[in-house]
Amino acid sequence: MKKLIVLRHAKAEHTPGVLDYDRVLTERGERNAREAGELIAKLAPDLIVSSPSARTRLTAELLGLADVPIAFERDVYEAYTDDLVAILRRIDPEVGTLVLVGHNPSVHDLVVQLAGPETEAFKPGAFAVIELPGPWEELDPGTGTLVDGHQP
């Protein structure tokens, strides 16, 4: 059994003249990322895969999971749901619990695709925990079970 934690980046600033890719977290976003990290730490993740944008990078780092490696995957930024599934299918089979830090609407759409439409809308800093019955390479729509979640 694999466990996927899908996390939307925390609340980011909207500063005129700053590129979308370079947007940073608000103070509330930083607090929410730390709070998410405290909850996610209990699930003992093996790996974090994150978009490299400033807000997702900061969210991943502020989780405070110092012993968990972070892989910044360029293709998570501006990904469609199918792109995220392709990334997940390439995850090392030894990884049991994975945190994916990305952007809406694709992260919410991924949760809906894997675990069903009963998933709440994803606010910044929200995450869903999905159990998957098989290896990453066999990830398919409808194969997951939503077992937990968090809205900041």
The two tokens of residue 40 are 């996610």
Strands (E) across the chain are located at 2-8, 47-50, 70-72, 97-102, 127-132, 145-150
- The pLDDT tens digits for 8-55 are 999 999 999 999 999 999 999 999 999 999 999 999 999 999 999 999
| The one-letter amino acid at 80 | Y
- The pLDDT tens digits for 103-149 are 999 999 999 999 987 777 789 999 999 999 999 999 999 999 999 99
pTM: 0.96
Preceding peptide of 105 cis, ω within 30°: yes
pLDDT at residue 105 in the model: 94
- The pLDDT tens digits for 34-47 are 999 999 999 999 99
The domain made up of 2-96+113-150 has a fold known as Rossmann fold (3.40.50)
